Every structure is written in C-alpha cells, then in structure tokens.
Amino acid sequence: MLLTVEGRPVQHGWWGREETARGKFRCWIGERGGRQGVRVTLLDEETDAVLADWPDPR
C-alpha cells in the first residue's frame, strides 16, 4: 500500500494477507483521508494491479 500527498510518496506498508491489507487501507483513509492532496493506493505487488484507490479517480 502506498500513501502519497500531492503526488509524493510519504508512507508505504506491506501485509501478507489481502484481508489485513484491505483493513489497513480503510484505516489509513480514516486517519489520513481528510488532508489535502492525500491518495491511498492498495496494490498487488506480484501483478502490479491496483486493488483499491482512494479517492477513486473515476
């Protein structure tokens, strides 16, 4: 998982279980999501697939 502010990486994390990573994803949004320019991205490091992105770019 990657936390960026204004496009700059400021924190990352890795968890071996997707369930845990998704829980941390929600937690990071709750803790840091109110700040200007924050993006939280959950990635599958094996496939480079984006599993979740907040805020949703769509």
Q: What is the pLDDT of residue 32?
A: 92
- Say whether the peptide bond before residue 9 is cis (omega within 30 degrees of 0): no
Q: Which residues contact 11 (CB under 8 A, 6 or more apart)?
A: 2, 3
**Measured between alpha carbons, how far is 46 from 32 in angstroms, rounded to an integer?**
26
Phi and psi, residue 45, nearest 5°: -70, -20
1-58 pLDDT per residue, tens: 999 999 999 999 999 999 999 999 999 999 999 999 999 999 998 999 999 999 987 6
What is the β-pairing status of strands 49-54 and 38-44? antiparallel
pLDDT of 57 reads: 74
Please give the model's pTM, rounded to 2 decimal places.
Answer: 0.88
Opening angle at CA 37, ends 52 and 48, nearest 5 = 30
